[in-house]
């Protein structure tokens, strides 16, 4: 038959029969990728909007993980720099609810505990402090005036950022050192010779300003004077209110356990003992609890994004019935149709996920560099973001893809 010359494919199929069946339909993976992206390429605004939920969710998760990694990296170096062996002894309350008093001898007693390396103390006074004597006495400014021992900065991990700290000579004189917040509130940022503040009815010379005491933040808003000067000029009774000490690293708990009884052998229950670096650690934990909240919000956003993708895929399958029918007529199997719509959903959420990772990294970089923290994006953040996007696309696309594949080609072709 003359026609056979023009129909090599048909002839090949005929000669193949009856030994075997016809060739089974086959689609190249490059072509699958191309047809899976049709929906994205032809309906860009819709694709962008439906991927937005996933982008926001992934961005939130990446940013939260990135920010907490950056700030915990920062906090960890801070904690290890400051040491975890600082203990704090404060006067608690008596059985009758009154403020208790630490014995004057308590610092010396504590210094005698073997594994204690150094001790410093402060004692609060009732004096007020002003920049000048013209400010009315009612105008209190939230600053406290405390007697402080000469070793205080070394024990709490602070240092002078201007001038010098109290020493054996200035400890007895009307000389004050300012915590950094106190200095700010008094409007003093440099030390001039002869600089004075009006403190408890006397002029005190300002000797220095301390850096932030991360482990003892109460010092930041204090004006510190020597114990002797406090007793001489401010009517201070000499009882310490807070004792700071450093214990040997391996004996922190042991020292912690005997501190109350050592500080006040008669009424140890009047004494509070705490570990400020543990408190800092607790603050980091509280921060990660907040992270949990944001991660939850990110997860909710991802869920909303998944619903968005599923919704758009359902609509897409309905709209593209005739395309599905045509593809079946061209030789697509149910599997090809299923794979096409599943890949389209995954591709859609992958685009959302990639955009989300970009946004999350940018947010982390901006925030961390503003806080002078290192920018740390843990691998789990972006890998998790991409993984979540793929999983969401697959889950959201599964039902629409199954529906598309189940559609009978005749029904699909009849709809117009």
Partner 1 sequence: MTAGPVLELDAVTKRYPAQPPVIALDEVSFEVARGELVAIVGPSGSGKSTLLHVMGTLDRPSEGTVRISGFDVSQLNDRELAGLRATEIGFIFQQFFLAEHASALENVGDGLLYTGAPAAVRHAAAAEALDSVGLAQRARFRPPQLSGGERQRVAIARALVGHPAIILADEPTGNLDSATGKTILDLLDELNRAGATILVITHDHEIADRMPRQVELRDGRIVADSGVAPSGQMMRAAREPLVR
Check binding of 413 to partner 1 (CB under 8 A): yes
Distance CA 282, CA 279 (A): 5
Check binding of 29 to partner 1 (CB under 8 A): no
**Least distance CB 374 / partner 1 (angstroms):** 46
Residue among 134 and 330 whose Cβ is closer to partner 1: 330
Nearest by Cα to 99 from 119, 123, 83: 123
One residue of 23, 49, 105, 137 binding partner 1 per CB under 8 A: 23
Check binding of 370 to partner 1 (CB under 8 A): no
How many CA atoms, within 13 angstroms, populate the side-chain half-sphere of residue 277? 21
Check binding of 283 to partner 1 (CB under 8 A): no
Residues in the chain: 416
DSSP 8-state secondary structure symbol assigned to residue 24: P
**Least distance CB 398 / partner 1 (angstroms):** 20
Site string for partner 1, 125-164 (x = CB under 8 A): ----------------------------------------
Decide if 299 contacts 54 (C-beta within 8 A). no
From residue 199, give the alpha-carbon distance in Å to each of 145, 177, 302.
Answer: 8, 12, 59
Decide if 259 contacts 182 (C-beta within 8 A). no
The size of the interface with partner 1 (CB under 8 A), counted in residues, is 50
- Is the N-terminal amide bond of 367 cis, ω within 30° of 0? no
Residue among 3 and 45 whose Cβ is closer to partner 1: 3
Site string for partner 1, 285-324 (x = CB under 8 A): -------------------------------------xx-
One residue of 17, 81, 112, 372 binding partner 1 per CB under 8 A: 17
Residue among 265 and 331 whose Cβ is closer to partner 1: 331
Residue among 84 and 333 whose Cβ is closer to partner 1: 333
Check binding of 21 to partner 1 (CB under 8 A): yes
Decide if 364 contacts 67 (C-beta within 8 A). yes
From residue 376, give the alpha-carbon distance in Å to each of 55, 56, 67, 359, 360.
Answer: 20, 20, 7, 15, 12
Residue among 335 and 374 whose Cβ is closer to partner 1: 335
From residue 96, give the alpha-carbon distance in Å to each of 99, 100, 266, 274, 314.
Answer: 9, 10, 16, 22, 71
Check binding of 33 to partner 1 (CB under 8 A): no
- Cβ neighbour number for residue 19 with a 10 Å cutoff: 6
Check binding of 26 to partner 1 (CB under 8 A): yes
Decide if 74 contacts 374 (C-beta within 8 A). yes
Nearest by Cα to 56 from 356, 324, 327: 356
Query: Which span (37-45, 81-89, 152-160, 219-227) binds partner 1, by CB under 8 A?
Result: 37-45
Ranges within 326-345 binding partner 1 (CB under 8 A): 326-336
**Least distance CB 45 / partner 1 (angstroms):** 15
Question: Residues in the site for partner 1, rule: CB under 8 A?
Answer: 1-11, 13-15, 17-18, 21-28, 30-31, 35, 38, 41-42, 322-323, 325-336, 408-410, 413-414, 416
């Amino acid at each position: 038959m003359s026609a056979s010359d023009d129909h090599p494919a048909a002839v090949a199929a005929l000669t193949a029969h009856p030994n075997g069946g016809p060739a089974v339909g086959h689609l190249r993976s490059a072509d699958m990728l191309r047809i899976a992206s049709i929906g994205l390429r032809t309906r860009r605004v819709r694709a962008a909007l439906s991927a937005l939920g996933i982008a926001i969710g992934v961005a939130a998760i990446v940013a939260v993980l990135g920010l907490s990694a950056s700030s915990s990296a920062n906090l960890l170096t801070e904690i290890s720099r400051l040491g975890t062996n600082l203990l704090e002894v404060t006067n608690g309350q008596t059985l009758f609810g009154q403020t208790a008093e630490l014995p004057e001898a308590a610092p010396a007693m504590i210094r005698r505990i073997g594994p204690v390396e150094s001790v410093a103390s402060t004692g609060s006074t009732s004096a007020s402090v002003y920049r000048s004597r013209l400010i009315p006495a009612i105008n209190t400014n939230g600053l406290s005036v405390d007697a402080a021992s000469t070793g205080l900065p070394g024990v709490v991990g602070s240092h002078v950022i201007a001038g010098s700290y109290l020493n054996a000579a200035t400890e007895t004189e009307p000389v004050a050192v300012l915590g950094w917040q106190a200095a700010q509130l008094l409007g003093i940022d440099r030390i001039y010779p002869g600089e004075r503040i009006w403190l408890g009815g006397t002029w005190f010379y300002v000797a220095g300003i301390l850096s932030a005491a991360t482990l003892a933040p109460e010092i930041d808003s204090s004006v510190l004077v020597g114990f002797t000067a406090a007793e001489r000029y401010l009517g201070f009774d000499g009882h310490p209110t807070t004792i700071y000490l450093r214990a040997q690293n391996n004996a922190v708990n042991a020292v912690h356990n005997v501190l109350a009884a050592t500080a006040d052998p008669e009424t140890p229950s009047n004494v509070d003992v705490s570990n400020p670096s543990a408190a800092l650690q607790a603050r980091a934990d509280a921060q990660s609890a907040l992270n949990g909240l944001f991660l939850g919000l990110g997860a909710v956003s991802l869920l909303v994004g998944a619903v968005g993708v599923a919704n758009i895929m359902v609509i897409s399958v309905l709209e593209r019935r005739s395309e599905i029918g045509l593809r079946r007529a061209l030789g697509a199997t149910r599997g090809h149709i299923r794979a096409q719509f599943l890949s389209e959903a995954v591709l859609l959420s992958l685009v959302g996920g990639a955009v989300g990772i970009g946004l999350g990294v940018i947010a982390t970089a901006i925030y961390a560099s503003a806080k002078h923290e290192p920018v740390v994006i843990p691998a789990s953040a972006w890998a998790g973001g991409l993984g979540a996007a793929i999983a969401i696309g697959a889950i959201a696309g599964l039902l629409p893809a199954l529906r598309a594949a189940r559609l009978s080609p005749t029904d699909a072709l009849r709809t117009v």
